[in-house]
Structure 1
Amino acid sequence: MNVLLTRKYGSSLKLFQQIFKNLNKAKKVNSSFSTCCKHPRVNRLLIKVGVRHISTDMAPVFTVSPKGHLLVDDKLHIKLTGLPKEKKVTVYGFLEEEGKKFESNAWFETKSDGTVDLQIDPSTGGTYTGVSPMGIFWSMVACPGQLEGIRMMKKNMDTPFRTSVSVHDGHLNLGEVRVNSDGALGSTLIDRYYKAPGVRVEEVTDGRLRGKLYLPPGPGPHSGVIDLFGTVGGIVEFRSALLASRGIASFALPYFLYKDLPQALEDLDLDYFMEAIDWLLGRRDIIPGGVGVIGVSKGGDIALMMGTYSPKVKCAVNINGCPIAAMYDMKYKSRGETIKAVPFNMDGLKYEDDKVIMKGSLDIKTEDILPVWTSDVKTLHVLGEDDLCYPTVECIKCLQSLYPRDKAHNCEVLSYPRAGHLIEPPYTPLCSVSYHKTFNLHFLWGGHPEEHAKAQEESWSRILNLFRTELVCSSQHNARL
């Protein structure tokens, strides 16, 4: 039974199935589905629930591998069989998360055996072109009629991103698929999670520390990472859940606009983050000796500060952050110091259709750069060259130039042309613009979908490799990885 049809008509189709079974028992029809559809009683029921036509041809078969509990960074092999040979078809993806709707489409021509294989066959049109096994996921765009600047983000780690993937006759644009949504030749549902079975989550309320600790399956000890996001505030957990699913304990650490934490960025102090390092290393299920830190945007700034001032940070991943204190001083009360801010320059702001480009608002000088090279921390900088929020490429080039030759190996840079600011785990759609609740503005983040997707896929594998190499990651959960 067509998945889309079942989802739409639910209990009425169960009634239809029961009628079909009873008619068979009474010998009033044979066991043919198509014959049953023509029976007057069944036909009246179908019309009553709004089904005007059911194709009685053999439905195409979707094969998705690997099987089992899929994670969002799993590269899938999706193949369709049982289609008419040498015909134009459209593969359509649809996902709804907390009321936000996203979609994608790709055009193919079936081969002489009636198959389409997303792993080897090129899309000739739609939201992506060329060969991309995961294109139907990373090329998703927001469906029309919604608030501008919505972002696909998972907040409940116990539920999957559920994508309906369907195939349609002809090369259809997104609007045409929506109009003919009942006309799918076949469909399937694909569930992808950030959290693997056995991953444990602990709410952290210790002293002034707040957040959630994601622990891999098994007793450990596990390598430990502190996970930071930017000026959106609150707690963001999806990356920590995925890190734990890949064998690395991760502390999702909010630092403002969460519970009783500060309500404003100017109230931050570096001691809070240093306390988080000590707390994580004080656990018996965390490998002693040092932690990793990962941060994006403002979180990247803070990750570099932590690596600069704490010898307990062995490695730091900076995703489009700058080695500075951006906009606000960072107090370091325990040492009686303050890391002076690079002030916000309103004259450097640009606007495009009432959306903010912030990149030119920070006038950074060499003397503003954090002395990261004075530490032995291993840093990995993931940069989008089309970042419209931060002058990250220029900043990191300046930082590199300040490293003495004998420490240059500690500063590794991955720079991606046409990638934007929000570089996330693989196969997440590009978010090039979103509403920023902290500043009550729409921000332009930059990026181009295909190049941004490549940056996310490559950088994620490099990030995992860094943590496993530098933190002596527990091997017991890595067999699958």
Structure 2
Amino acid sequence: MVGLNVTPEISLVDEPVKIRAWGLPTEQVITIRAWLKDEKGEIFHSRAFYMTDKKGNVDLEKTPATGGDFQGVFPMGLFWALRPAIPFLRLMKRDVMGSPFLVHLELYSSLLLNPLPEDSPVASKVIERWYVSPGVQRIPIREGRIRGTLFLPPGEGPFRGVIDMFGGVGGLLEFRSGLLASRGFASLALAYFAYDDLPSYLGQVDLTYFEEAAQFLCHHPKVSSDGVGVVAICKGAEMALCMASYLPQVAATVCINGTNAVNGNSLIYGDLSVNGIPYHPERVVITDFGSLSLTHAMDDPRKPEHQNSILPLEKARGPILFLVGDKDQNYNSLFFAKEAQARAVKNGKKDVYVRCYPGAGHLLEPPGSPFCPVSQSPFFPLPLTWGGELLPHCRAQEASWKETQDFLRRNINSSRRSKL
């Protein structure tokens, strides 16, 4: 009897699953296919080929993929390699509480070259991949100027507080905050443009908005009041570094593929005014795939005319961790991170760290998130190139997720202290 076993069948997306098949012809090539529908009904799919052993079994923790979307022993490769049936779509969970992603795993007893098979699988399973664990609370926040969503773990706390931000897509993304709350953090998914009554685009940015969010989180009865962490990517990482440089509430900062200076928009904070380094759209590169690479559109912050735009991260209260992919094709993020670290060292700040992941691109997301090298953006006429290579990028997602949580736990006090 042919069988397909997937354990666990219900899990968080950042948790690994085990996949085994048995009862197949011995020493024969078979195919395992994965697919899901996102909330808009779009299909994402992957497949890999395996050679059964002398007993007709395949165990993805031991059996190497001989071909398909990847090669080698990668137990989570089918999840990593999920790609859109329609090019340039990005898989993002919008409703993290209401439903999981239902991932269909199908077993075929032959080589399946057609990504949309006509024959029925010999065995199949449907598993649930969630972004929140049981007991996590989701609380919409519309207080003062703050627009976002607070995710609280079950229990009374106090929990380490984290502000979670994304980049140039704007709006409000909650999937990382749901996972952070599932791992014990009180996470505020914070929108800062293109959402609700916030500005539709980033012009002048007032840091007091972010200060208000940090104060709100510090004063929440279930959150440690001794400072918050900030986790952010892309333009959000730039905002995170602004917060770290000027706000005493920020105890630890994780900047994922960001910059070391204010770019594009201007920044104000009380009497402080910082002009952004202008973008150079004429330097945008159109790739062979018809997508845009923005790496060269950002100017060198070392130029004399840009010195006042560089963020004084040496003033930050707490440590700063830069997570960067060396194949990022959206930002020259490794250069910016090294510049930031060099400035910190020059000014006597020793707790600025750079973690570089070879082969990783721009969109470093929680593990289980499929590799997305290029996708559409609401603010550009052509898709944006994020860069990276499938297997090293997804290994980096696993490593960086653990490092992010460890960093936040080490550097955010979990006890109640005087309010900031």
TM-score by length of 2: 0.93
Greater share of helix residues, 1 or 2? Answer: 1
The equivalences for 1:290-329 within 5 A come to 290-329=227-266
Deviation of residue 395 (structure 1)?
1.1
Alignment pair present for 1:384 and 2:319: no
SS of 1:188's equivalent in the other structure is strand
Q: Which moved more, 1:214-223 or 1:395-404?
A: 395-404
Deviation of residue 86 (structure 1)?
2.0
**Match of residue 133, structure 1, among 64, 75, 93:** 75
**Distance between the aligned counterparts of 1:404 and 1:86, measured in 2?**
58
Q: Indicate how the Cα distance of structure 1 residues 132 and 409 shifts in structure 2: closer, same or farther if over 3 A, else same.
A: farther
**Distance between the aligned counterparts of 1:325 and 1:406, measured in 2?**
19
**Match of residue 285, structure 2, among 326, 350, 353:** 350
**Distance between the aligned counterparts of 2:384 and 2:335, measured in 1?**
20
- For the Cα contact (< 8 Å) 1:467–1:473, is it kept in 2? no
Q: What amino acid is the match of 1:108?
A: Y
**Distance between the aligned counterparts of 2:157 and 2:6, measured in 1?**
32
Alignment pair present for 1:421 and 2:353: no
Partner of 2:295: 359
**Distance between the aligned counterparts of 1:404 and 1:468, measured in 2?**
24
Q: What amino acid is the match of 2:88?
A: G
**Distance between the aligned counterparts of 1:170 and 1:65, measured in 2?**
23
Alignment pair present for 1:88 and 2:22: no
**Match of residue 73, structure 1, among 14, 29, 42:** 14
Partner of 2:410: 469
Q: What amino acid is the match of 2:25?
A: P
- For the Cα contact (< 8 Å) 1:100–1:152, is it kept in 2? no
Deviation of residue 406 (structure 1)?
8.5
SS of 2:402's equivalent in the other structure is helix
- How large is the Cα RMSD of the aligned pairs? 1.6
Alignment pair present for 1:149 and 2:84: no
Alignment pair present for 1:178 and 2:116: yes
Deviation of residue 450 (structure 1)?
0.8
Deviation of residue 172 (structure 1)?
1.9
The equivalences for 1:56-67 within 5 A come to 58=1, 60-66=2-8
Q: What amino acid is the match of 1:168?
A: Y
Structure 2: gaps (5+ residues)? 416-420
- For the Cα contact (< 8 Å) 2:246–2:315, is it kept in 1? no
Alignment pair present for 1:431 and 2:372: yes
Q: Indicate how the Cα distance of structure 1 residues 264 and 405 shifts in structure 2: closer, same or farther if over 3 A, else same.
A: closer
Q: Which moved more, 1:98-107 or 1:350-359?
A: 350-359
Alignment pair present for 1:165 and 2:105: yes
**Distance between the aligned counterparts of 1:220 and 1:249, measured in 2?**
9
- For the Cα contact (< 8 Å) 1:233–1:438, is it kept in 2? no
Deviation of residue 473 (structure 1)?
4.7
Q: What amino acid is the match of 2:201?
A: A
**Distance between the aligned counterparts of 2:406 and 2:368, measured in 1?**
18
Deviation of residue 84 (structure 1)?
2.4
SS of 2:102's equivalent in the other structure is strand
Deviation of residue 463 (structure 1)?
0.3
Deviation of residue 350 (structure 1)?
1.2
**Match of residue 277, structure 1, among 214, 219, 222:** 214
Partner of 1:103: 45
**Match of residue 260, structure 1, among 197, 210, 223:** 197
**Distance between the aligned counterparts of 1:394 and 1:356, measured in 2?**
20
- For the Cα contact (< 8 Å) 1:294–1:317, is it kept in 2? yes
**Distance between the aligned counterparts of 1:372 and 1:385, measured in 2?**
22
* Aligned length, in residue pairs: 407
Deviation of residue 322 (structure 1)?
0.4
Partner of 2:418: none
Q: Indicate how the Cα distance of structure 1 residues 251 and 162 shifts in structure 2: closer, same or farther if over 3 A, else same.
A: same
Provide Cα deviations, 1:338-369, integer angstroms capped at 9, x if missing partner.
Answer: 12201011232111244211110111223242
SS of 1:436's equivalent in the other structure is coil
Q: Indicate how the Cα distance of structure 1 residues 410 and 115 shifts in structure 2: closer, same or farther if over 3 A, else same.
A: same
**Distance between the aligned counterparts of 1:250 and 1:265, measured in 2?**
23
Q: What amino acid is the match of 1:154?
A: K
- For the Cα contact (< 8 Å) 1:247–1:473, is it kept in 2? no
Deviation of residue 418 (structure 1)?
1.9
- For the Cα contact (< 8 Å) 1:248–1:473, is it kept in 2? no
**Distance between the aligned counterparts of 2:278 and 2:12, measured in 1?**
41
Deviation of residue 408 (structure 1)?
5.0
Bigger Rg, structure 1 or 2: 1
**Distance between the aligned counterparts of 2:108 and 2:244, measured in 1?**
52
Deviation of residue 64 (structure 1)?
2.4
Deviation of residue 66 (structure 1)?
3.7
**Distance between the aligned counterparts of 1:357 and 1:278, measured in 2?**
37
**Distance between the aligned counterparts of 2:381 and 2:30, measured in 1?**
42
Partner of 1:224: 161
Structure 1: gaps (5+ residues)? 1-57, 475-481
**Sequence identity percentage:** 37
Q: Indicate how the Cα distance of structure 1 residues 151 and 181 shifts in structure 2: closer, same or farther if over 3 A, else same.
A: farther
Q: Which has the higher contact order (CA 8 A, sep 6+)?
A: 2
* Runs of 4+, deviation exceeding 6 Å: none
Q: Which moved more, 1:207-216 or 1:365-374?
A: 365-374
Deviation of residue 398 (structure 1)?
1.2
Partner of 1:460: 401
**Distance between the aligned counterparts of 2:17 and 2:348, measured in 1?**
40
Provide Cα deviations, 1:428-468, integer angstroms capped at 9, x if missing partner.
Answer: 11111111102343211111111110110100000011111
Deviation of residue 274 (structure 1)?
0.6
Q: What amino acid is the match of 1:159?
A: S
